[in-house]
């Protein structure tokens, strides 16, 4: 059982306060949608939770069965998908998957790769360069990379933007699977997207 | 999507970074082109300037070191600058431990320097009147200098990759840090050009270059996590 605890989090950019006093706690099987107006700090909050930047105040702790995880363990247990993320344009989808699998400590054989690509409806397109993909296909591959190793905490920023109906269905399946076993946090203002989550948290109010 | 987790070690991850960078580089040829273009251009200018004029060994050594240093400066920062500019650094940070990233990129930079040496060094002796008296000493000096240079510049590349004026900052930050290495490489190259006394004649330079490489790589491995995470 994993537990994510966020206590009195605040983030400043220089003198400008983005948000303050953000606190919540989530355990495996729970999901949260973070909403708020543009510039309220939804993406900033997700970046803090992903370990990509540090909070100005407050603390984030992630524990497994009551045992606090180290920074390296936290990183290995967390995945983040957002518009700012880019995979390698001049590597193929299969090469990208293989590379990130190795970096996450996951062994992939040819069958696993085929299955992963089929899960995100990219079967038969594994040999194409990531740079040649459409924005929707790129997002699907980012999901495939993010799910390598079954992360305990999955952070999604605007999860269905640029996706067609099939893509949205894939995301809803991923979300259902994640909330069955892990923790899910979505940053969005789309009603359709925050409908995926069990709890709602509004930042910037 | 339940996948079997394995204990993939540090070396395998570092090799994956190296393999990915080599593959990317051969498809874009960004760093190779920059380094080789600079190396061959400066070598041509040196050749046109001094031609077959006979100069003293320290002058040839200085010219060769200048060509190697500035060629290296034009391409070695790309290992991290490319990741920041292509916005792939974020996903690399999210998925990777810092040490294999540093080690993979260190070896990539070393291989890039080795390629530069292999192309520029023979051309230098063909296009100038420099005489190489001790080829073994010359190769060892260049090898050790390349390891030290790669060790220092890989960390500096990570530091400057987020800055606005990357190129100038890379050279400015690198120069003072590389000064001991440049002194060792200059003196060692001079000895390889003017003596046939073997490795003993350049004992001080060899010790300096070995110590520099060991200290620089060890310090870089220890510091890289802070640089990479910030």
SS3 content of chain B, % helix, strand, coil (to 5): 85, 0, 15
ipTM of the complex: 0.87
CB B155 within 8 A of CB B149: no
First-to-last alpha carbon distance for chain B, in angstroms, is 32
Residue pLDDT tens, chain A, 205 long: 899 999 998 888 888 888 888 899 999 999 999 998 888 889 999 999 998 888 899 999 999 988 999 888 888 899 999 888 999 999 999 999 999 999 998 988 899 999 999 999 999 999 999 999 998 899 999 999 999 988 999 999 988 887 888 888 888 888 888 888 899 999 988 888 878 888 898 887 6
Q: Do B87 and A148 touch (CB under 8 A)?
A: no
Residue B2, in any domain of the structure: no
Residue B62, in any domain of the structure: yes
Q: Which residues of A touch B17 (CB under 8 A)?
A: 103
CB A65 within 8 A of CB B66: no
| Residue from A52, A99, A122, A151 to probe the interface with B (highest B Cβ count within 10 Å) | A99
Q: Do A105 and B8 touch (CB under 8 A)?
A: yes
Closest CA to B107 of B95, B99, B119, B96: B99
CA distance B195 to chain A (A): 48
List, in order, residues 6 or more apart from B211 with CB less than 8 Å away.
none
Q: Do B3 and A99 touch (CB under 8 A)?
A: no
Instruction: Using pLDDT thresholds of 50, 70 and 90, give the confidence band for residue B1.
Output: very low
Q: Which residues of B touch A89 (CB under 8 A)?
A: 86
- For the entire predicted model, the pTM comes to 0.89
| Number of separate domains in chain B | 1
Residue B48, in any domain of the structure: yes
Task: State the residue range of the domain holding B163.
Answer: 8-229
Q: In what helix (H) or strand (E) does residue B167 lie, and over which residues does it extend?
A: helix B166-194
CA atoms within 13 A of residue A88's CA, in its CB half-sphere: 23
Whole-angstrom distance, CA of residue A146 vs CA of residue A79: 5
Q: Chain A interface residues facing chain B, Cβ-Cβ under 8 Å?
A: 50-52, 72, 75, 78-80, 84-91, 95, 98-108, 112, 115-116, 119, 142, 145, 147-150, 177
Residue B56, in any domain of the structure: yes
CA distance A61 to chain B (A): 17
Q: In what helix (H) or strand (E) does residue A138 lie, and over which residues does it extend?
A: helix A135-146
Q: Which residue of B has its CA nearest to A149?
A: B3
Residue B162, in any domain of the structure: yes
Residue B1, in any domain of the structure: no
Whole-angstrom distance, CA of residue B112 vs CA of residue B60: 23
| Residue from B23, B94, B102 to probe the interface with A (highest A Cβ count within 10 Å) | B94
Q: Which residue of A has its CA nearest to B20?
A: A99
């Amino acid at each position: 059982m994993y537990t994510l605890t966020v206590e009195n989090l605040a983030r400043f950019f220089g003198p400008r306060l983005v948000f303050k006093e953000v606190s919540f706690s989530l355990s495996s099987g729970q999901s949260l949608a973070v909403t708020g107006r543009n510039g309220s700090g939804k993406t900033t909050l997700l970046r803090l939770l992903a370990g990509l930047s540090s909070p100005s105040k407050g603390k984030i702790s992630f524990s497994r069965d009551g045992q606090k995880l180290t920074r390296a363990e936290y990183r290995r247990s967390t995945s983040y998908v957002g518009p700012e993320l880019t995979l390698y344009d001049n590597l193929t989808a299969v090469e990208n998957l293989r590379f990130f699998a190795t970096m996450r400590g996951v062994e992939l054989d040819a069958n696993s790769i085929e299955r992963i690509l089929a899960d995100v409806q990219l079967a038969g397109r594994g040999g194409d360069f990531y740079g040649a993909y459409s924005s929707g296909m790129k997002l699907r591959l980012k999901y495939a990379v993010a799910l390598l190793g079954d992360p305990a905490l999955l952070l999604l920023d605007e999860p269905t933007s640029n996706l067609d109906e099939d893509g949205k269905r894939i995301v809803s399946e991923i979300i259902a699977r994640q909330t069955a076993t892990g923790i899910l946090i979505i940053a969005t203002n789309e009603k359709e997207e925050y409908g995926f989550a069990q709890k709602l948290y509004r930042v910037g109010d | 999507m339940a996948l079997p987790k394995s204990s993939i070690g540090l070396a395998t991850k570092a090799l994956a970074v190296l393999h990915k960078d080599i593959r990317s580089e051969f498809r874009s040829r960004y760093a190779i082109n920059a380094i080789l273009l600079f190396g061959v251009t400066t070598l041509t200018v040196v050749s046109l300037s001094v031609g077959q004029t006979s100069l003293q060994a320290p002058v040839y050594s200085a010219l060769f070191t200048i060509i190697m240093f500035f060629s290296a400066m034009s391409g070695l920062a790309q290992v991290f600058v490319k990741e920041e500019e292509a916005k792939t650094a974020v996903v690399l940070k999210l998925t990777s431990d810092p040490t294999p990233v540093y080690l993979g990129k260190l070896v990539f930079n070393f291989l890039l320097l080795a390629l530069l040496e292999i192309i520029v060094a023979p051309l230098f002796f063909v296009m100038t009147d420099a005489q190489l008296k001790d080829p073994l000493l010359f190769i060892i000096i260049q090898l050790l200098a390349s390891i030290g240079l790669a060790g220092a510049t890989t960390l500096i590349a990570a530091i400057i990759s987020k800055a606005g004026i990357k190129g100038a900052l890379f050279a400015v930050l690198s120069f003072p840090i590389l000064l001991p290495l440049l002194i060792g490489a200059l003196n060692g190259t001079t000895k390889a050009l003017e003596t046939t006394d073997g490795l003993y004649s350049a004992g001080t330079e060899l010790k300096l270059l070995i110590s520099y490489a060991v200290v620089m790589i060890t310090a870089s491995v220890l510091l890289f996590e802070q640089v990479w995470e910030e």
